[in-house]
């Protein structure tokens, strides 16, 4: 789950990382009120999860109420790379002496945490890494040992941060690591991390990606979820606890497991079709889950056929088949459906599915054959 800048700053503040004072605004009047609270001059920032806000006119300095009204009015509703601005972050403008970069993430190849610091902040870190790699200091951290103050000091020294910024940067790095580990994040990034003329170091921006797999430990993350960013299908799926991503095709896809769901989408493309979605029901292919999945799939008016691809493992084939059968009894499906069931007790499952097969509900033994049939049926309805 990617956070907006204002959410990232709220998240950082929980771990003692200093950020600029400010507030969120959804209207021009709210922007004016937040500017009064923050104190002029302020920066009016578009809240979208895409880079290039400044170049697109989504970040503006305001020194008085009239300028806040002008900038807020212009930025709200602005389209930035396909993302329409519905919310603003209004923060007190900071004087900047120097800009740095700091982050923690996971290096999957090394199977260790990776900390990075650079004295060249405020630009894309990929550009720094490519054009001037020696300007990016790195350190690998054993998760079992953790990140020490000595390592933080070495990191800022290797990065060449100014002497007056080092103590403040060390403290922020230690808290940033805590935010990464204790906060169950995939990425925490500050760009820029600034040094002010009076010697203070704080986060001027915040980029945070949280690990959705850890959400059961963090009920407070519900406050971060922006349901307005999802289309109607995705909102319905989330309300039912389903892992769903809407696509632009016409073959509805249901599978158990993220890898199988992605493979199913690939096979649909391979045989000349176009998947309407990615939907992973995980290991719970019972009647309720299947009914919920079918309800979400059929809510998409572009769907002309449904492909259910299940590989029985811990959840056995006959349990899956009974779930599908019960779900079909709950929901009136007018769209043709093709089911591929394999794995543990698949034969028993196919025997159960045979009792519900018809010209609208077909069962085929292989993923490729099932995908071909689903595409054929979808094209026949076109």
Dist CA 34 CA 234 (whole Å): 32
Identify the residue whose tokens are 């599908």. Answer: 324
Dist CA 176 CA 68 (whole Å): 32
Among 305, 279, 277, CA closest to 292: 279
Instruction: Give the length of the chain.
Output: 382
- Whole-angstrom CA distances from 77 to 28, 46, 50 are 11, 10, 15
Give yes or no for a contact between 302 and 276, defined as CB atoms under 8 angstroms apart.
Answer: yes
101 belongs to the catalytic site: yes
H or E segment and range at residue 210: strand 207-210
Measured in degrees and rounded to the nearest 5, phi and psi for residue 317 equal: -60, -40
Beta strand pairing call for 337-343 and 361-363: parallel
149 belongs to the catalytic site: no
- The active-site residue out of 5, 34, 99, 189 is 189
Give yes or no for a contact between 63 and 92, defined as CB atoms under 8 angstroms apart.
Answer: no
Torsion sign across C-alpha atoms 307, 313, 315, 321: positive
- The active-site residue out of 11, 101, 244, 250 is 101
At residue 166, the 3 state secondary structure works out as helix
Q: Quote the DSSP letter at residue 4.
A: P
- Whole-angstrom CA distances from 299 to 246, 249, 258, 283, 316 are 11, 14, 21, 23, 28
Dist CA 44 CA 67 (whole Å): 10
Buried b (16+ CB within 10 A) or exposed e, 62-98: beeeebbbebbebbbebebeebebebbbbbebbeeeb
Give yes or no for a contact between 294 and 242, defined as CB atoms under 8 angstroms apart.
Answer: no
Q: What tokens were used for 77?
A: 């509703």
**Residues annotated as part of the active site:** 101, 189
């Amino acid at each position: 789950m990617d956070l907006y800048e204002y959410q990232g700053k709220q998240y950082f503040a929980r771990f003692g990382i200093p950020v600029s004072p400010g507030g969120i605004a959804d209207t021009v009047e709210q922007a004016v009120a937040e500017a009064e609270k923050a104190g002029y001059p302020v920066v009016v920032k578009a809240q979208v999860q895409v880079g290039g806000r400044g170049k697109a006119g989504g970040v503006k300095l305001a020194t008085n109420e009239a300028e806040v009204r002008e900038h807020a009015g212009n930025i709200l509703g602005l389209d930035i790379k396909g993302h329409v601005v519905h919310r603003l972050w209004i923060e007190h403008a900071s004087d900047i002496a120097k800009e740095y970069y700091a982050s923690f993430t996971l290096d999957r190849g090394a199977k260790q945490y990776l900390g990075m610091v650079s004295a060249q902040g405020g630009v894309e870190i990929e550009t720094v890494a490519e054009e001037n790699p020696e300007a990016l200091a790195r350190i690998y951290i054993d998760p079992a040992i953790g990140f020490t103050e000595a390592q933080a000091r070495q990191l800022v020294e290797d990065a060449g941060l100014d002497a007056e910024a080092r103590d403040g940067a060390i403290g922020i790095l230690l808290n940033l690591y805590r935010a990464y580990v204790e906060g169950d994040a995939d990425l925490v990034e500050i760009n820029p991390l600034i040094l002010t003329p009076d010697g203070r170091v704080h986060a001027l921006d915040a980029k945070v990606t949280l690990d959705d797999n850890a959400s059961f430990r963090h009920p407070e993350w519900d406050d971060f979820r922006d349901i307005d960013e999802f289309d109607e299908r995705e909102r319905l799926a989330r309300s039912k606890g389903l892992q769903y991503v809407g696509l632009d095709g016409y073959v509805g896809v249901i599978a158990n497991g993220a890898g199988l769901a992605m493979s199913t989408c690939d096979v649909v493309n391979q045989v000349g079709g176009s998947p309407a979605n990615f939907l992973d029901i995980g290991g719970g292919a019972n009647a309720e889950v299947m009914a919920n999945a079918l309800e979400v799939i059929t809510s998409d008016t572009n769907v002309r056929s449904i492909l259910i691809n299940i590989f029985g493992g811990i959840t056995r084939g006959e349990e899956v088949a009974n779930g599908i059968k019960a779900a079909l009894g709950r929901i009136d499906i007018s769209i043709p459906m093709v089911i591929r069931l394999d794995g543990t007790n698949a034969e028993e499952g196919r025997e159960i599915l045979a009792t519900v097969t018809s010209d609208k509900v077909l069962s085929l033994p292989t993923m490729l054959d099932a995908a071909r049939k689903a595409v054929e049926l979808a094209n026949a309805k076109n």
